[in-house]
């Protein structure tokens, strides 16, 4: 609970980038097409283990109808717990409203893995969104004891999300939760291992929110390494083969530029860590996908899951309703990227090397 209050008092408000002008100028700049569209009738050769029934051939959709844009923005929403303490927490009613609004506006949940790889399985025409929960709170997730084990507490964020997803099976499923190296993340029913096991078995993903929620911008390099590495060492003690993939910076504060990278890749007491991305606090933006050349891997943006302020979740709902061309709209095919041809210059090398790019 204390960390939640710290978050509230010390949040670093990020500057909101004036995205419409930026993307519009990008569109205006685009003149000739230099790369031929790579039209393929077969899925790109990949090591994907995805069942064939869930894939759709790249030519199986009409882009003029669904207007896919797989370089458009994907919001990553930052939540904490379920309590009446805005703007960092949501009540049960508010969180349910958020989920319903996402659903009604055509957003569909994706996993952290889909976000990190760009292999988005969202159905054609819909917009992916990923939910994150910081601080390891007992109102984010907790277990309840049953006769034969554990079940999720239905009044926690994950309990509410589970119920909503059951009622709306096409909403998708999943979220990622970020915790500390205490032994009482997510309440005190069961052990941390019991709680992590439940989350992992139900399709949720775990990430590092540092050992003690200290402000990384105030620490020395050895202190930063200890703050980050202690969590990885704790995870290693529970799951010897597991490595966390994402770090969320407490208060959105990154370490001193001189040793910035030490928070993301390093070694602490023989345990190594190597994060694919670092997520900052909301409000921030623009929400480019990992396949965009300007994706900020180690300072990736999140939107705060709240209502009533510039740059929060509802502000962005309105923004994307007014600027639908900036949204990521799925083509339904994880190994292909349909993009409007004017967006081509946004493709990263990673996108060009790993996806069938189809311009229209």
Question: Is residue 330 within the footprint of Zn ion (CB under 5 A)?
Answer: no
Question: Is residue 227 within the footprint of Zn ion (CB under 5 A)?
Answer: no
Nearer of residues 250 and 266 to Zn ion, judged by Cβ? 250
Stretch that binds Zn ion, among 3-11, 65-73, 95-103, 253-261 (CB under 5 A): 3-11
Question: Is residue 127 within the footprint of Zn ion (CB under 5 A)?
Answer: no
Question: Is residue 208 within the footprint of Zn ion (CB under 5 A)?
Answer: no
Question: Is residue 205 within the footprint of Zn ion (CB under 5 A)?
Answer: no
Question: Is residue 135 within the footprint of Zn ion (CB under 5 A)?
Answer: yes
Question: Is residue 312 within the footprint of Zn ion (CB under 5 A)?
Answer: no
86 class by beta-carbon count within 10 Å (0-12 exposed, 13-18 middle, 19+ buried): middle
- Footprint (CB under 5 A) of Zn ion, residues 230-269: 250
Nearer of residues 249 and 316 to Zn ion, judged by Cβ? 249
Question: Is residue 281 within the footprint of Zn ion (CB under 5 A)?
Answer: no
Question: Is residue 140 within the footprint of Zn ion (CB under 5 A)?
Answer: no
SS (HEC) of the chain: CHHHHHHHHHCCCCCCCCHHHHHHHHHHHCCCCCCCCCCCCCCCCCCCCCCHHHCCCHHHCCHHHHCCECCCECEEEEECCECCCCCCCECHHHHHHHHHHHHHCCEEECCHHHHHHCCCCCCCCCEEEEEEECCCCCCCCCEEEECCEEEECCCCHHHHHHHHHHHCHHHCCCCEEEECCCCCCCCCCCCHHHHHHHHHHCCCEEEECCCCCCCHHHCCHHHHHHHHHHHHHHHHHHCCCCCCCEEECHHHCCCCHHHHHHHCEEEECCEEEECCEEECCCCCCCCCCCCECCCCHHHECCEECCCCCCCCHHHHHHHHHHCHHHECECCCCCCEEEECHHHHHHECHHHHHHCEEEEC
Stretch that binds Zn ion, among 2-10, 41-49, 108-116, 117-125 (CB under 5 A): 2-10
Would you say 240 and 269 are in contact if contact means Cβ atoms under 8 Å apart?
no
What is the closest distance, in whole angstroms, from the C-beta atom of residue 178 to Zn ion in the complex? Answer: 7
Stretch that binds Zn ion, among 35-43, 66-74, 128-136, 232-240 (CB under 5 A): 128-136
Question: Is residue 139 within the footprint of Zn ion (CB under 5 A)?
Answer: no
Nearer of residues 7 and 176 to Zn ion, judged by Cβ? 7
Question: Is residue 185 within the footprint of Zn ion (CB under 5 A)?
Answer: no
What is the closest distance, in whole angstroms, from the C-beta atom of residue 213 to Zn ion in the complex? Answer: 6
What is the closest distance, in whole angstroms, from the C-beta atom of residue 281 to Zn ion in the complex? Answer: 8
82 class by beta-carbon count within 10 Å (0-12 exposed, 13-18 middle, 19+ buried): buried
Task: Give the residue closest to Zn ion by C-beta.
Answer: 134
Nearer of residues 209 and 327 to Zn ion, judged by Cβ? 209
Site map (CB under 5 A) of Zn ion, residues 52-81, x = contact: ------------------------------
Question: Is residue 181 within the footprint of Zn ion (CB under 5 A)?
Answer: no
Question: Is residue 122 within the footprint of Zn ion (CB under 5 A)?
Answer: no
Nearer of residues 111 and 210 to Zn ion, judged by Cβ? 210
# binding residues, Zn ion (CB under 5 A): 4
Question: Is residue 134 within the footprint of Zn ion (CB under 5 A)?
Answer: yes
Instruction: Give the separation between CA 164 and CA 78, rounded to whole angstroms.
Output: 18
Binding site for Zn ion (CB under 5 A): 7, 134-135, 250
């Amino acid at each position: 609970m204390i960390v939640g209050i710290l978050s509230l008092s010390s949040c670093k408000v990020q500057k909101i980038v004036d995205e419409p002008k930026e993307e519009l100028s990008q569109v205006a700049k685009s003149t000739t097409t230099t790369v031929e569209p790579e039209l393929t009738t077969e899925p790109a050769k990949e090591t994907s283990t995805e069942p064939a029934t869930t894939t759709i051939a790249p030519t199986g959709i009409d882009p003029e109808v669904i207007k896919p844009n797989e370089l458009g923005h994907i919001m990553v929403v930052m939540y904490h717990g379920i309590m009446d303490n805005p703007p960092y927490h949501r009540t049960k009613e508010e969180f349910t409203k958020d989920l319903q609004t996402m659903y009604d506006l055509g957003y569909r949940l994706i996993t952290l893995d889909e976000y990190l790889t760009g292999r988005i399985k969202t159905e054609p025409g819909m917009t992916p969104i990923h939910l994150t929960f910081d601080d390891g709170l007992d109102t984010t997730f907790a277990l309840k004891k049953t006769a034969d084990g554990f079940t999720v507490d239905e009044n926690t964020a994950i309990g509410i999300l589970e119920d909503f997803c059951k009622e709306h099976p096409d909403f998708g499923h999943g979220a990622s939760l970020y915790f500390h190296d205490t032994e009482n993340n997510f309440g005190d029913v069961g052990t941390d291992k019991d709680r992590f096991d439940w989350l992992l078995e139900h399709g949720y993903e775990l990430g590092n929110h540092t050992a003690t929620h200290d402000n990384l911008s105030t620490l020395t390099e050895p202190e930063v390494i200890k703050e980050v590495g202690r969590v990885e060492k704790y995870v290693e003690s529970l799951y010897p083969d597991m490595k966390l993939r994402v770090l969320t910076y407490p208060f959105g504060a990154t370490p001193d530029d001189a040793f910035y990278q030490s928070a993301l890749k390093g070694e602490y007491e023989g345990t190594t860590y190597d994060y694919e991305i670092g997520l900052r606090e909301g409000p921030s933006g623009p929400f480019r996908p990992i396949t965009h050349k300007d994706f900020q891997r180690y300072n990736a943006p999140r939107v705060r899951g709240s209502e009533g302020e510039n740059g929060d979740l509802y502000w962005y709902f309105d923004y994307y309703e007014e600027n639908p061309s900036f949204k990521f709209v799925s083509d339904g095919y994880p190994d292909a990227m349909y993009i409007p041809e004017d967006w081509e210059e946004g493709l990263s090398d990673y996108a060009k090397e790993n996806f069938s790019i189809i311009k229209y």
